């Protein structure tokens, strides 16, 4: 089935054609008809399978039909709740692209930036709001975000929001919404605890869609583990980067201090790298993502705060410089590549100290991650990459300090 065969408004179809959308992915094929019919939905699908468009396409269509057939202007009709600023901004971009030829207005409502322009936009009229919980509740309490006409509520990356402890916020929000509404629950992973909570959010007769797979990592992603000593990781990162020039590479580390240290290590070998983590304000984070997205700089070093907030189709390689503390984050990290059926590659550098963490991740995946075998000569050649460099004792001390910080980070260092 093609998108042109769906009973969508011609202007919505025009927006899809402009984006190059021809046929729906599996999650889109199963979700769109149910959402158009007004059904509650609990949908679980791998990262990178097109979940955002699965709800954005039918929502834009429904909101547009309502605007066409309703003479007087309305307040916000749809609210999409997400856990991170980056995710809100990127989902807003998807909605805007799909709604380009319609009169549907969307906006991202996030903290970390001046609220006055957001308030002004709400006054002028917005149909669809994509929001993070903090700023959303601020503007509801101030009376700027009206909730009485919200007919569609979407919880995206819902498992992560619930893990972050937003369940009470979600329940508080639902008390402010009309009882007759449609609720859509989208997630990449789900366990029994999250499932139980999900059914307190959606109707009991909600349509459940779960794209069953033996592997939570998408088939479009080749992922491997390399056994590397902790203080040798920078050499292997340098090797991957230099063997893949002009390719976008996303590197995940454990802490924000670690991110800056690794970026400096790359800078010393003339590899420019960006960093994104919880210490950067929203303006800085947006600037960094834009530089990475446009290819101004092709190496981005991130903490898990952005594991679910980066949706850049051209990322070809993901590197787990440090293994994630939470096993589920492995799936979300590697899921930043291989998106929209494009091929992706992920490499995890595992030191002796991380082998227990690797076992937990493999237990979550219910399979072993394929080992990328390096013979001793290859390993030695990678370390000899520094042979012709001048000894930099300050750099060596920084690397030692970074390793110590890795092994015993303080709570303030995370994110």
Q: Is the pLDDT of residue 411 over 50?
A: no
Q: Is the pLDDT of residue 164 over 90?
A: no
Indicate the Cα dihedral angle 353, 358, 359, 363, nearest 10°.
160
How distant is the alpha carbon of residue 75 from its chain centre? Answer: 28
Q: Tell me the C-alpha distance between 328 and 305, whole Å.
A: 13
**Residue 69 within a domain:** yes
The answer to whether the beta carbons of residues 307 and 338 sit under 8 Å apart is no
Say if residue 145 is in the same domain as residue 261.
Answer: no
Residue 396 CB partners (closer than 8 Å, separation 6+) = none
Give the residue from 182, 210, 238 where a domain finishes: 210
**Residue 350 within a domain:** yes
CATH of the domain at 96: 3.40.50.300
Residue 255 is given by DSSP the state B
Say if residue 111 is in the same domain as residue 230.
Answer: no
Look up the domain containing 11 and give its range: 3-210
Residue 322 CB partners (closer than 8 Å, separation 6+) = 252, 253, 254, 258, 349, 354, 406
Which of 54, 289, 281 has its CA nearest to residue 188? 54
Give the pLDDT confidence of 339-388 residue by residue, as tens digits: 766 789 999 999 999 999 999 999 988 899 999 988 888 898 888 866 55
Give the residue from 210, 241, 267 where a domain finishes: 210
**Residue 354 within a domain:** yes
Residue 204 burial (CB < 10 Å; 0-12/13-18/19+)?
exposed
Q: What's the N-to-C CA distance of the chain in angstroms?
A: 43
| Lowest-confidence region among 75-79, 205-209, 348-352 | 205-209
Say if residue 172 is in the same domain as residue 271.
Answer: no
Residue 307, token pair as written in the block: 């594991």
Q: Tell me the C-alpha distance between 97 and 412, whole Å.
A: 38
In this structure, the number of other CB atoms found within 10 A of the CB of residue 366 comes to 9
> What pLDDT does 85 receive?
86
Residue 388, token pair as written in the block: 């012709």
| Lowest-confidence region among 11-20, 363-372, 397-406 | 397-406
Say if residue 145 is in the same domain as residue 265.
Answer: no
Average pLDDT of the residues of the chain:
86
Residue 369 is given by DSSP the state P
Q: Is the pLDDT of residue 240 over 90?
A: yes
Say if residue 129 is in the same domain as residue 272.
Answer: no
> What pLDDT does 393 receive?
47
Residue 161 CB partners (closer than 8 Å, separation 6+) = 81, 82, 83, 133, 155, 167, 170
Q: Model pTM?
A: 0.73
Give the residue from 177, 210, 243 where a domain finishes: 210
The CA-atom distances, in angstroms, between 49 and each of 25, 252, 261, 330, 398 are 7, 21, 33, 17, 40
The CA-atom distances, in angstroms, between 258 and each of 173, 189, 264, 302 are 37, 27, 10, 9
Say if residue 381 is in the same domain as residue 253.
Answer: yes
Q: Is the pLDDT of residue 270 over 70?
A: yes
**Residue 216 within a domain:** no
Q: Tell me the C-alpha distance between 319 and 315, whole Å.
A: 11
Say if residue 182 is in the same domain as residue 227.
Answer: no
- Burial per residue of 309-348, b for 16 or more beta-carbon CB atoms within 10 angstroms, e otherwise: bbbbeebbbbbbbbbbeebbbbbbbbbbbbbeeeebbbbb
Residue 345, token pair as written in the block: 């590659």
**Residue 266 within a domain:** yes
**Mean pLDDT across the stretch 173-188?**
89
Q: Tokens 């995370």, residue?
A: 414
Say if residue 239 is in the same domain as residue 202.
Answer: no
Say if residue 184 is in the same domain as residue 228.
Answer: no
**Residue 178 within a domain:** yes
**Residue 215 within a domain:** no
In this structure, what are the phi and psi dihedrals at residue 221, rounded to the nearest 5 degrees? -110, 125
Q: How many domains does the chain have?
A: 2
SS3 for 413? helix
> What pLDDT does 253 receive?
95
The answer to whether the beta carbons of residues 130 and 108 sit under 8 Å apart is yes
Say if residue 206 is in the same domain as residue 253.
Answer: no
Give the pLDDT confidence of 41-52 residue by residue, as tens digits: 999 877 777 889
SS3 for 132? coil
Mapping DSSP onto H, E and C, the string for 81-103 reads ECCCHHHHHHHHHHHHHHCCCCC
Say if residue 150 is in the same domain as residue 290.
Answer: no
**Residue 71 within a domain:** yes
Cα angle 375, 352, 330 (rounded to 5 degrees) comes to 95
Say if residue 268 is in the same domain as residue 345.
Answer: yes
Q: Tell me the C-alpha distance between 68 and 65, whole Å.
A: 5
C-alpha gyration radius of the chain: 22
**For residue 340, is it left (φ>0), alpha (ψ between -120 and 50) or beta?**
left
Q: Tell me the C-alpha distance between 293 and 287, whole Å.
A: 10
């Amino acid at each position: 089935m093609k998108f042109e065969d769906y009973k969508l408004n011609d202007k919505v179809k025009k927006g899809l054609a402009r984006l190059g959308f021809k046929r729906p992915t599996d999650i889109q094929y199963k979700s769109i008809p149910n959402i158009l019919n007004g059904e509650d939905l609990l949908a679980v699908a791998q990262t990178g399978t097109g979940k955002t468009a699965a709800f954005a396409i039918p929502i834009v269509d429904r909101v547009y039909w309502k605007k066409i057939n309703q003479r007087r202007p309305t307040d916000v009709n749809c609210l999409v709740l997400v856990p991170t600023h980056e995710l809100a901004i990127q989902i807003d971009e998807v909605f805007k692209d799909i709604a380009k030829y319609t009169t549907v207005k969307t906006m991202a409502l996030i903290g970390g930036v001046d609220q006055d322009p957001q308030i002004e936009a709400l006054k002028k009229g917005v149909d669809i709001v994509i929001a993070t919980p903090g700023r959303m509740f601020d503007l509801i309490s101030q009376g700027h975000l009206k909730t009485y006409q919200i007919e569609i509520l979407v919880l995206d990356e819902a498992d992560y929001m619930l893990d972050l402890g937003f369940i009470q916020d979600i329940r508080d929000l639902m008390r402010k919404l009309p009882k007759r509404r449609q609720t859509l629950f989208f997630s990449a992973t789900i366990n029994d605890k999250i499932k139980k909570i999900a059914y307190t959010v959606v109707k009991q007769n909600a349509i459940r869609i779960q794209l069953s797979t033996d592997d939570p990592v998408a088939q479009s992603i080749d992922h491997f583990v390399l056994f590397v000593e902790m203080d040798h990781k920078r050499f292997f990162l340098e090797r991957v980067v230099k063997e893949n020039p002009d390719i976008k590479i996303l590197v995940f580390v454990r802490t924000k201090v670690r991110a800056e240290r690794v970026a400096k290590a790359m800078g010393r070998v003339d590899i420019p790298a960006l960093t994104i983590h919880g210490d950067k304000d929203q303006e800085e984070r947006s600037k960094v993502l834009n530089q990475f997205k446009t290819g101004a700089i092709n190496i981005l070093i991130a903490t898990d705060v952005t594991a679910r907030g980066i949706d850049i189709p051209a990322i070809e390689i993901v590197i787990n410089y440090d293994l994630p503390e939470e096993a589920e984050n492995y799936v979300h990290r590697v899921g930043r590549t291989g998106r929209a059926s494009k091929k992706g590659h992920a490499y995890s550098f595992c030191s002796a100290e991380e082998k227990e963490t690797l076992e937990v991740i493999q237990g979550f995946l219910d399979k072993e991650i394929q080992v990328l075998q390096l013979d001793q000569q290859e390993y030695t050649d990678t370390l000899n990459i520094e042979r012709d460099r001048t000894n930099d004792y300050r750099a060596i001390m920084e690397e030692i300090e970074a390793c110590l910080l890795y092994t015993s980070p303080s709570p303030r260092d995370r994110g």
